[in-house]
């Protein structure tokens, strides 16, 4: 019995397997991922990210750059993809396909050098997944597998919020039944994560890390047995092992705990991934494509005896807005006006604290593939300034302590803040959820704070 199946309940049906960028980074990584797919006959649908590094180069091209930089970025992308093509047999046809996409990238990057846009960015960035899935399909075909490449844009319809588009689940359910399900019954299907199409036919993206979300949405629409997420880490840990080498793997974790971790920065899962899984109670397995026999983490509905402290998550690049106005004092509707303005500019608020004449709120600047991840546009600042004085603090980090029934733990504050007495804590948020206590801290101190907390709470 495999490390995966020994953890997972038998509920019938197929499995969707998603492989991240490092799992398809080069020919050897793709070959290892193919081994995982072929070893499990229940895997009928595979979702891929772009090869590692490709998306970053494509975003750099989409931001508009001079001819020398453009040539350098294009060369990097060409090198990564052709290193895989060169390892394939009878590669003339697939080489032509990859070259055609590389020519598209070149043309789009030249257009971006003249005028950038979020729509152009999404069109350009989508080529990473198109190339990786074509290469992976050809690799499997050459290994004698009955396999079919499928363009996810046929079924993944979204709104036109380029850079972080939201899928239409009702359309997805209908289109999956019509176009995808019949193919699964005849062949192994390889498709793209992260990308979709809006009603006018333009390509969209679901935000950075959106391939996990794609896999979960397809698992829900097809009522599959399980979603397997294959990455470069064998499971979910008590914190990022790159920050704390002594971090411990969590073998089984509940949906709500994992959702808190994903929301507050744990990079193993995209924050939206668990929403479809929770709706349909589909278990999610997280394992390492480099070492599939090492086991991993099963995310499911409930776990026995959940611990008081489960994990520490870190999210960098946070922005703090402090809004000051005497009009707030005993006034009604001030916050409503503020949130209406933020909504008009497609900005969601993470944490918020208030006093008589001040509101402090945090904005997450990560997650979108939009060319300007910077959210504080001149238009937004001008509109806010008509209501209040605005102060902006950047280069902050959010440290979230994830656990169970934290709002009912006596001495919680003392335990945490005694450990952090030498650090400056800019903002504290606690009480809205039983599962987290959030600290906004200077970015330069973030890793040391995580290390100190982990030693105090877990070691």
pLDDT per residue over 45-54, tens digit each?
999 999 999 9
List the one residue out of 30, 50, 43, 38 whose CA is nearest residue 228.
Answer: 43
> Does residue 374 form part of some domain?
yes
Size (the chain), residues: 459
Report in angstroms the alpha-carbon separations of 406 from 31, 53, 400. 44, 39, 12
Question: Which residues lie closer than 8 Å to 406 by C-beta, 6 or more apart?
Answer: 308, 412, 430, 433, 434, 435, 436, 437
Asked whether residue 168 is marked as a ligand-binding residue, the answer is no
Q: How much is the average pLDDT of 392-398? A: 93
Asked whether residue 237 is marked as a ligand-binding residue, the answer is yes
Name the domain boundary from 167, 197, 231: 231
Name the domain boundary from 180, 207, 231: 231
Beta strands in 325-372 (DSSP E): 352-354, 358-364
Q: Three-state SS for 82?
A: helix
Asked whether residue 213 is marked as a ligand-binding residue, the answer is no
Predicted pLDDT at 374: 64
Q: Structure tokens of 449?
A: 């704070």
- Total structural domains within the chain: 2
What's the domain range around 364?
Answer: 310-458
> Does residue 143 form part of some domain?
yes
For 183-243, give the secondary structure using H, E and C: HHCCCEEEEECCEEECCCCCEEECCCCHHHHHHHHHHHHHCCCEEEEEECCCCEECCCCCC
Burial 133-164 (b: 16+ CB within 10 A, else e): bbbbbbbbbeeebebbbbebbebbbbeebbbb
Q: Structure tokens of 419?
A: 């450990």
Q: In this structure, what DSSP letter does residue 51 have?
A: P
Same structural domain, 213 and 315: no
Name the domain boundary from 231, 248, 275: 231
> Does residue 302 form part of some domain?
no
- Residues paired with 72 in a beta bridge: none
Asked whether residue 267 is marked as a ligand-binding residue, the answer is no
Q: What is the mean pLDDT of the chain?
A: 90
> Does residue 256 form part of some domain?
no
Same structural domain, 32 and 138: yes
Q: How much is the average pLDDT of 14-42? A: 96
Asked whether residue 106 is marked as a ligand-binding residue, the answer is no
Asked whether residue 212 is marked as a ligand-binding residue, the answer is no
Asked whether residue 162 is marked as a ligand-binding residue, the answer is no
- Kindly tell me if the per-residue pLDDT of 326 is higher than 90: no
Residue 134 and residue 191 in contact, taking contact as beta carbons nearer than 8 Å: no
Alpha-carbon gap, residue 75 to 57, rounded angstroms: 10
Asked whether residue 232 is marked as a ligand-binding residue, the answer is yes
Which of 170-179, 323-332, 409-418 shows the lowest mean pLDDT across its residues?
A: 323-332
- pLDDT band, residue 269 (cuts 50/70/90): confident
Percent of the chain with pLDDT over 70: 94
Predicted pLDDT at 5: 42
List the one residue out of 200, 218, 177 whose CA is nearest residue 47.
Answer: 218
Alpha-carbon gap, residue 63 to 55, rounded angstroms: 12
Predicted pLDDT at 105: 98
> Does residue 270 form part of some domain?
no
């Amino acid at each position: 019995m495999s490390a995966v199946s020994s953890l997972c309940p038998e509920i019938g049906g197929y499995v969707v397997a998603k492989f991240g960028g490092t799992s398809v980074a080069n020919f050897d990584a793709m070959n290892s991922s193919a081994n995982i797919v072929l070893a499990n006959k229940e895997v009928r649908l595979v979702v891929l990210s772009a090869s590692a590094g490709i998306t970053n180069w494509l975003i750099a091209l989409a931001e508009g750059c001079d001819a020398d930089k453009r040539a350098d970025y294009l060369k990097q992308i060409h090198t990564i993809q052709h290193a895989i093509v060169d390892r394939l047999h009878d590669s003339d046809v697939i080489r032509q396909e990859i070259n055609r996409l590389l020519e598209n990238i070149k043309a789009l990057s030249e257009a971006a050098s003249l005028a950038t846009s979020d729509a152009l960015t999404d069109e350009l960035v989508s080529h990473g997944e198109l190339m990786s899935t074509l290469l992976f399909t050809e690799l499997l075909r050459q290994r004698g597998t009955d396999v079919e490449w499928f363009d996810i844009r046929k079924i993944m319809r979204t709104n036109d919020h380029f850079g972080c588009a939201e899928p239409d689940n009702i359309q997805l359910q209908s289109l999956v039944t019509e176009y995808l399900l019949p193919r699964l019954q005849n062949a192994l299907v390889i498709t793209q994560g992260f990308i979709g199409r809006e009603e006018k036919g333009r390509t969209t993206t679901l935000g950075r890390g959106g391939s996990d979300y794609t896999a979960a949405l397809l698992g829900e629409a097809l009522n599959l047995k399980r979603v397997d997420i294959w990455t470069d880490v064998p499971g979910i840990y008590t914190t990022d092992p790159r920050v704390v080498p002594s971090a411990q793997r969590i073998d089984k974790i509940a949906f709500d705990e994992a959702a808190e971790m994903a929301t507050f920065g744990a990079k193993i899962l995209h924050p939206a991934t668990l929403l479809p899984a929770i709706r349909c109670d589909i278990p999610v397995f997280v394992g390492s494509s480099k070492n599939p026999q090492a086991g991993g983490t099963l995310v499911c509905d409930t776990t026995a005896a959940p611990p008081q402290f489960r994990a520490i998550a870190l999210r960098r690049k946070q922005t703090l807005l402090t809004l000051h106005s005497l009009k707030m004092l005993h006034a009604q509707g001030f916050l409503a006006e503020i949130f209406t303005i933020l909504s008009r500019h497609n900005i969601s608020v993470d944490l918020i604290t208030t006093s008589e004449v001040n509101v402090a709120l945090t904005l997450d600047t990560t997650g979108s593939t939009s060319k300007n991840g910077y959210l504080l546009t001149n238009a937004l600042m001008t509109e806010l300034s008509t209501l209040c004085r605005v102060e902006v603090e950047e280069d902050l980090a959010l440290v979230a302590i994830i656990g169970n029934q934290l709002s009912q733990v006596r001495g919680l504050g003392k335990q945490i803040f005694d450990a952090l007495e030498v650090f400056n804590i800019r903002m504290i948020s606690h009480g809205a959820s039983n599962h987290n206590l959030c600290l906004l801290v200077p970015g330069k101190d973030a890793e040391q704070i995580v290390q100190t907390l982990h030693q105090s709470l877990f070691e």
